[in-house]
Chain A
């Protein structure tokens, strides 16, 4: 028996972009301005923190996944390999004050307070698809700022060919770091042109709220055209390098997880197919949908990989 496959997003998942963005803005305006102005101060506290953050480019007309699903289904091995347990365990993480060390091939290196970084980078919302290497997918409305804009503020030199990111290492709180499921601390990286691509994003919030700890607070990377493991959480260090960084998952399984990790339906993981993906939060009778090349962001990023054999450089 064959059930007809969908090539892309369900029609019910799609709202026309204009209507969708307008509606969001209206809701935001209603929540942020009119309601806040009318209500007493005590009630005003309930208004979402980032309700007035404007919607940025590339957000398309995607319908976000339910907040509960995004917040309770995380791969955060620093806490647990169980997707739900990290919600509870990550509550112990202190995310404020937070500083980020900037090192390597840049003029402005040093240790910076996250607060100061946030002051120099106005927030915007980006509604992005998120595709895990485990073949499940969701849509998340992130609050943050473009990675490239921030990186430029550190004035990388011509020797900066790659950017390496490191997660906090604190086994007392991040109890998963006491195990050896991965080489700690978690390290990820991007080629400098990938990092400067306007799609690459740093998130400090989602769904108009502060980023929940289990989703990578206080600052995480979001690279929507790559598998989720590239989008490193709780960043404490950014290093500009001349050589390709050795990343956590590629150290663990070099034949299974590459440096590029671009979403690609044609290149199977050595142990499972990547040609389809399960939509989180859908009913149990919803079939998987076809994976899109670069997770649907080919228009923005395909040119970065011209002339490369993506089956070999996975």
Chain B
């Protein structure tokens, strides 16, 4: 099926608002006081969940391309990456502005005592680097190094899951679901990497013998 350039723009706008809707719903719940007894935590956890979900969606696009043998999934990679960054930023800001009330004293008290927060901050730093270099101009400027740099999203995927696993008290059910999704998504890359290396090695061998 052929979709025109205008058609894709239209689809992208719809997807954009779909991706934004969890955020708008959360804002609405906050204003309407529908977040329960601990609204800051509810907001904070929900935004973190969405950041992780968009990270998974973003990482699923390439395998999806392979499965469907269509190229359209790749059109949404930047948008999903930036939505991951958007939700991670909101998650981070809720922590700094609402949970810590912008208190530096609390930040230096809490963070060193919480290994999972350190892992979360590390993940966020990676996401900042990826978001800054997400533009087409940056892609051109960095050339080959852009591809290498953006492999950091795999590291972010792993550290985001560790961040979640490390904070729960005893029920690791939900973080384990994300861990398994991440395992499949990154396993797909690993499998490809091994396949490619084998193919290259075979090619090199073939050339050296002939």
Find out whether the CB atom of B101 lies under 8 angstroms from the CB atom of A288. yes
Find out whether the CB atom of B36 lies under 8 angstroms from the CB atom of A134. no
Residues of A within 8 A of B98 (CB): 284-285
Find out whether the CB atom of B103 lies under 8 angstroms from the CB atom of A2. yes
Find out whether the CB atom of A136 lies under 8 angstroms from the CB atom of B114. no
Find out whether the CB atom of A280 lies under 8 angstroms from the CB atom of B37. yes
- Bits for B32-49, please: 1 = Cβ < 8 Å to A, else 0: 000011111101000000
Most A CB atoms within 10 A — which of B103, B105, B170?
Answer: B170
Assembled-state Cα–Cα distance A285/B94 (Å): 11
- Bits for B43-80, please: 1 = Cβ < 8 Å to A, else 0: 10000000000000000000000000000000000000
Find out whether the CB atom of B113 lies under 8 angstroms from the CB atom of A84. no
With A5-B105, A284-B43 in contact, is A273–B113 under 8 Å at CB?
yes
A117 part of interface (Cβ distance < 8 Å): no
Instruction: Tell me the number of A-to-B contacts counted with CB atoms below 8 Å.
Output: 80
A172 part of interface (Cβ distance < 8 Å): no
Assembled-state Cα–Cα distance A81/B168 (Å): 10
- Bits for A100-124, please: 1 = Cβ < 8 Å to B, else 0: 0000000000000000000000000
Residues of A within 8 A of B164 (CB): none
Assembled-state Cα–Cα distance A158/B110 (Å): 44
Residues of A within 8 A of B103 (CB): 1-3, 5, 287
Residues of A within 8 A of B43 (CB): 284
Q: How many residues of B contact A (CB 8 A)?
A: 28
Residues of A within 8 A of B106 (CB): 276, 288
Find out whether the CB atom of B36 lies under 8 angstroms from the CB atom of A72. yes
Assembled-state Cα–Cα distance A110/B106 (Å): 51
Assembled-state Cα–Cα distance A299/B177 (Å): 47
Chain A 1-34 residues near chain B, CB threshold 8 A: 1-3, 5
Residues of B within 8 A of A288 (CB): 99, 101, 106
Find out whether the CB atom of A181 lies under 8 angstroms from the CB atom of B105. no
Residues of B within 8 A of A70 (CB): 37
Residue of B whose beta carbon sits closest to that of A4: B103
Chain B 92-128 residues near chain A, CB threshold 8 A: 98-99, 101-106, 109-110, 113-116
Residues of A within 8 A of B115 (CB): 271
A73 part of interface (Cβ distance < 8 Å): yes
Assembled-state Cα–Cα distance A3/B101 (Å): 7
Min Cβ gap B48→A in Å is: 15
Find out whether the CB atom of B113 lies under 8 angstroms from the CB atom of A268. yes
Chain A 159-196 residues near chain B, CB threshold 8 A: 179, 181-182
Residues of B within 8 A of A285 (CB): 98, 101
Min Cβ gap A87→B in Å is: 11
Most B CB atoms within 10 A — which of A268, A284, A287?
Answer: A284
A310 part of interface (Cβ distance < 8 Å): no
A88 part of interface (Cβ distance < 8 Å): no
Find out whether the CB atom of A280 lies under 8 angstroms from the CB atom of B109. no
B154 part of interface (Cβ distance < 8 Å): no
Can you list 10 A-B contacts with CB-CB less than 8 angstroms, sorted by A residue number? A3-B101, A65-B37, A66-B37, A81-B170, A81-B171, A271-B167, A276-B106, A276-B109, A280-B38, A288-B106
Closest 6 CB pairs of A and B: A69-B37, A287-B101, A73-B37, A81-B171, A273-B113, A280-B37
Given contacts A273-B113, A280-B37, 5 further A-B contacts (CB under 8 A): A73-B36, A271-B115, A272-B114, A276-B106, A284-B39
Which of A's residues lie within 8 Å of B, judged by CB? 1-3, 5, 65-66, 68-70, 72-73, 77, 81, 83-84, 134, 136, 138, 179, 181-182, 252-253, 268-269, 271-273, 275-276, 278, 280-281, 284-285, 287-288
